[in-house]
A and B are shown apart, each in its own frame.
Chain A
């Protein structure tokens, strides 16, 4: 157990140092990503103004807060891409990963977790500029801040598990792009990424309860912008923990079967 913690500490430190060297590349990437929330924010601000100020309880300031927090949550959401599995399998890189003493999942989690620390630091100035441009209304309590700080890591782990699971499909077929795109489309709507879930019809919100997506995106944001009762905040963290375990269980089961299909020559 302590050995594992030691591994995580070293691996995260290593990836932090590596990623901090690529500050410019990281910034370039983050700026490209910022266009998306600004588009949503602009659309909903226009709608809110046309409807006399608010839509489903959100006014321009609340939308601004939602989408600025969105930028951090989105960055926490970036994990090993399912498209990367094809390369790992085809190039035989996986053979090397399998020879290591720990499960490859540990290496991915540690690498991305370390990177996240750099991302959070780099994000702060971006958030300041966005806040100056869009004037968000945000007054979180200490409990909300604390829950948010935990929930973004919960979101990271849930998405890590489910995208890993999705990527494992590559062991069976290389025609994966359509499946992945479908997954990302469903996620776009049911997670609260394109718009707060409150803007959707009731049946969509009910549907979203059955998927892990809202706990990777909408929940952390809503926690910080002050829409949830203390009870809902704590329950939310518990549900996140459940989804992490469900995801982990599924990854373990599918991983066993996937490995049986893996063959490699050389490397």
Chain B
């Protein structure tokens, strides 16, 4: 309960802070619109040459693309800014301030930044997915909706854990620009269902970089493709990644020596 209250307080302060810069909202919308248009044109280009892509119809791929937008919105709004700040704090020693507080440090470093305008992409992604559902006349019931939300949460947990594992390396090397570059490059694979990739890459995108569970699996839940085995795997991998991330974080902390900040 105490944890939830902390998250709410931090989110409120972060959001109030960002709300001061209202013009940013319009520029964010402009940027999101350009990104969306780019994605739609590439989809149109592919379907100029084929009617189905690895068993997915155009409307269903729109759903995939929408969920990709939603997830990258969450990553850009909360996960990535917090991790970038963590890497900087490790570098200049300001992590000391976190460690002296009486709350779990991992929680604190995960909720400090809220780039609220980035949530535009979340809304836009939901819109695109919705349009895809209507266009493809994909019906779903309450059970499927619940499953979808559950899979989304698993996906967010997996992405967060993956980012924390990446950022924990900043306790030994300072490479944050490269980390962002690496993550964005790999995560872009989620624009398409992972089934289009060659076998070795699919394994990589499922178990190492959780692109499959972040985007493809929630889309499968919405389009009635989800099997029981995938469901169990999604929960298992997300929780597993979280445990690994926790261990990496603890290991990183044990190497950290303050810089008399």
A interface residues (Cβ-Cβ under 8 A, vs B): 25, 28-29, 31-36, 38-39, 42-43, 46-47, 50-51, 55-56, 133, 175, 177-178, 181-182, 185, 188-189, 194-195, 199-201
Chain B 193-204: CB-based contact to A (< 8 A → 1; otherwise 0):
000111011000
Say yes or no: is B189 at the interface (Cβ < 8 Å to chain A): yes
Tell me the nearest residue of chain A to B183, going by C-beta.
A32
Contact with A along B22-48 (1 / 0, CB 8 A): 000001001100110110011001101
In the complex, chain A residues whose CB is within 8 Å of the CB of B197:
42
Given contacts A42-B196, A50-B50, A178-B34, contact A200 B189 (CB under 8 A): no
Offer 7 A-B interface pairs, CB within 8 angstroms, sorted by A.
A28-B175, A32-B184, A39-B188, A50-B52, A181-B34, A189-B38, A199-B49
Instruction: Check if A33 sits within 8 Å of B196, measured CB to CB.
Output: no
> Considering only CB atoms and an 8 Å cut-off, how many residues of chain B contact the other chain?
33
* A29 surroundings in chain B (CB, below 8 A): 178, 181
Contact of B201 among A38, A175, A188, A200 (CB under 8 A): A38
**B185 part of interface (Cβ distance < 8 Å):** yes
Task: Contacts A39-B189, A50-B52, A133-B198 known; list 19 others, CB within 8 Å.
Answer: A25-B178, A28-B178, A28-B182, A29-B178, A32-B185, A34-B185, A35-B185, A35-B188, A36-B188, A42-B192, A46-B53, A46-B54, A47-B46, A51-B50, A177-B27, A178-B27, A178-B30, A199-B49, A201-B48
Interface of A: prevailing SS = helix
Q: Are A32 and B182 in contact (CB under 8 A)?
A: yes
A36 cross-chain contacts in B, Cβ below 8 A: 185, 188
Which of B35, B41, B49, B178 lies in contact with A181, CB distance below 8 A? B35
- Determine the distance from Cα of A36 to Cα of B42 in the docked complex, in whole angstroms: 13
Q: For B182, give the chain A residue with the smallest CB separation.
A: A32
B186 in the interface, Cβ–Cβ < 8 Å?
A: yes
Indicate whether B191 reaches chain A with its CB closer than 8 angstroms. yes
Whole-angstrom distance from the CB of A90 to the nearest CB of chain B?
Answer: 17
Q: Which residue of A lies closest to B33 (CB)?
A: A178
Once the chains bind, are A195 and B45 in contact (CB under 8 Å)?
Answer: yes
Q: Which residues of B lie under 8 Å from residue A177 when comparing CB positions? A: 27, 31
- Bound-state CA distance A148–B178 (Å) is 29
CB distance from A153 to the nearest CB of B (A): 25
The residue that B38 contacts in the complex, of A39, A43, A188, A199, with Cβ under 8 A, is A188
Q: Which residues of A contact B192 (CB under 8 A)?
A: 39, 42-43
* Interfacial chain B residues near A47, Cβ < 8 Å: 46, 49-50, 53
Q: Is the CB of B34 within 8 A of A32?
A: no
Contact between A185 and B52, CB atoms less than 8 A apart? no
Least Cβ–Cβ distance between B40 and chain A, in angstroms: 11
**Which B131-188 residues have a C-beta within 8 angstroms of A?**
175, 178, 181-182, 184-186, 188
Residues on A with beta carbons closer than 8 Å to the beta carbon of B37: 185
A189 to chain B, nearest CB (A): 6
Contact flags (1/0) for B46-69 with A, using CB distance below 8 Å? Answer: 101110111000000000000000
A33 touches B45 (CB 8 A): no
CB-CB nearest in chain A for B190: A39
Which chain A residues border B181 with CB–CB below 8 Å? 29, 32-33
When the two chains form their complex, are residues B196 and A43 in contact, meaning their CB atoms are under 8 A apart?
A: yes
State A181–B30 Cα separation when bound (angstroms): 10
Contact B45 A194 (CB under 8 A): yes
Contact partner of B31 among A39, A51, A55, A181, CB < 8 A? A181
With A and B bound together, what is the CA distance between A148 and B41 in angstroms?
29
Give B180's nearest chain A residue, CB to CB: A32
CB distance from A39 to the nearest CB of B (A): 5
- Interface pair A189/B31, CB less than 8 Å apart: no
| CB closest chain-A residue, reference B37 | A185
- CA A182 – CA B196 in complex, angstroms? 28
A218 to B46, CA, bound (A): 18
Check if B188 sits within 8 Å of A43, measured CB to CB: no
The smallest C-beta distance from B138 to any residue of chain A, in angstroms, reads: 22
| Docked complex Cα distance between A238 and B161 (Å) | 52
Q: Is the CB of A200 within 8 A of B45?
A: yes
CA distance A114 to B34 in the complex (A): 34
Report the Cα distance A252→B255, complex, angstroms: 52
Nearest CB of chain B from residue A96's CB, rounded to whole Å: 23
Closest approach, in angstroms, between the C-beta of B210 and any C-beta of chain A? 15
Rank and list the top 8 A-B pairs by shortest CB-CB distance, nearest first. Answer: A35-B185, A32-B182, A32-B181, A32-B185, A178-B30, A28-B178, A185-B38, A47-B50
